[in-house]
Structure 1
């Protein structure tokens, strides 16, 4: 997954807010994922609702993999 808003990540970026801003610029949704959002994707893939999903990437990253660029 993309970066997930966990206590460890909060602690890391609390010490250096500019570092967090540099990371967030790469995420089109403009925020880190909630752990529940990752869990929901896992629950979907483990459920019968995903019975026709196979042989594909299932990205849960807020768009970071499709939009990652280095700003000037």
Structure 2
């Protein structure tokens, strides 16, 4: 059974991603279970969100929801 918790983390490059995964592997509990799905920024931009209505935050965001810091 999968737990319905989803966490997102942004990495600047694949090297950083793999270093993070190595750390997870070293600290994974014996009965732990982690699934990782890596997506590119372009893939993330194409994500579809299906909900009954937009949240207040989504209403205030422009057409381009990506914010570059």
User: TM-score normalized by structure 2?
Assistant: 0.31
Larger RCO (CA within 8 A; separation ≥ 6) = 1
More helix by share: 1
Rg larger in structure? 2
User: TM-score normalized by structure 1?
Assistant: 0.31
